[in-house]
Chains A and B, each alone.
Chain A
Amino acid sequence: MDIDFSTSIPIYLQIISEFKRQIAIGQLKPGDRMPSQRDLAAELKVNANTVQRAYREMELLGLVETLRGQGTFVCRGEGVVEETRRELLDSLVAEFVAAMRSLGLGGQEALELVRKGFAETAAGKGVES
């Protein structure tokens, strides 16, 4: 796990986003054990209280659950992965739309660009492989 902390966003939020990302792309699966708070703090070189806060928030969000004496696990609930994925997509889309708007692009134009982008990367991939 690697996070660049030079930004202005609170660190515990960055830790949560990183875990959300890992859950969304399937790197962390429901039922997987989360790293212990102490180990994660040492690995990220982050204050243990910050990690604790991130875990507490994730618990409140229903992303993870702590079983007494066993550790913290990604929630087994069906919807967790789907929801996290959706949330991540929503935020990325929102970010994209806002950026396009600021450049004066409408929905149709933006979509056109997106299609083109996908086609190009697909072609690029094809050439490479």
Chain B
Amino acid sequence: MTTAEHALVVRDLRKRYSQVEALKGISMTLPRGEIWGLLGPNGSGKSTFLKCVAGLVKPDGGEIQILGETPSRRTKAQIAFVPEVESLYRWMTVGQVLDFTAAFFDDWQPETALELLEFMHLDGKSRVSSLSKGMRTRLRLILALARRAPLVLLDEPFSGIDPSSRDRIVEGIIREFKGEEQTVLISTHAVGDTEQLFDSVVFLAEGRVALQGSAEELRRSRGRSINDLFKEVFP
């Protein structure tokens, strides 16, 4: 365990794809032991930001520090990243997916994984290709929650799935949140009824930070729920 004060420090992060400037200088500091919401409409740069932190996309400029270290093979071991896309090998069974992940991450907890499997109503023997979208999302979430990863990145875990899957996922995140030793960053384009998950929120608009702060403070000072605030910032 490292003793860095912050789970994630990002300074002036920039990323340009051939046509679009996806990130135009993003800065944020995530302390340990909090759940953060990365909020913004589609195309605001949320995914690109998470991919940069996870090391799946190389930024053009700026600085990223994960537990005090720049992104590398070592930081990948500290991060549990659940991308928005279907990233699993479809021929694998649910059990094989868990085994595969367990082999690569030393912080994997087999008992937690089994508990989560039951909680998420998944059968170890079923094939990934036979699962519904909601089930696959639940499975991908297990891969992150069954680890004691210091930094968990969840990209749009609530989008395009049935309400019951969504409830399971919200509850799963709350149940498995490891408190002080963990920081969770969740991106979403629809705040809805998930706003009570977040300690703090960052609003992204067109590759820039539009607003950030403690969720409770924002509710108090703005007199609005985060969901209403979101609708106000992104009409």
Contact = CB atoms under 8 A, between A and B. Distances in A.
A adjacent to B, CB under 8 Å? yes
Interface of A: 5-12, 38, 41-42, 44-50, 53
A8 B171 contact: no
A38 B176 CA distance: 10
Given A46-B196, A47-B198, 13 more contacts: A7-B225, A8-B224, A8-B225, A9-B220, A11-B196, A11-B216, A38-B175, A42-B174, A45-B167, A47-B197, A47-B199, A48-B179, A49-B34
A49 B34 CA distance: 8
Nearest to B216: A10
B222 interface: yes
A27 to B, nearest CB: 22
B63 interface: no
B192 to A, nearest CB: 10
B231 to A, nearest CB: 12
A49 B35 contact: yes
B228 interface: yes
Looking at chain B's contact residues, the main secondary structure is helix
A87 B179 CA distance: 33
Contacts, number: 58
18 contacts: A5-B225, A6-B227, A8-B219, A8-B228, A9-B219, A10-B217, A10-B220, A11-B215, A11-B216, A42-B175, A45-B197, A46-B196, A47-B177, A48-B174, A49-B34, A50-B196, A50-B216, A53-B216
Contacts of A45: 167, 170-171, 174, 193, 196-197
Contacts of B219: 8-11
A41 B174 contact: yes
A49 B199 contact: yes
Interface string B208-223: 0000000111011011
Contacts of A5: 193, 195-196, 225
A12 B228 CA distance: 18
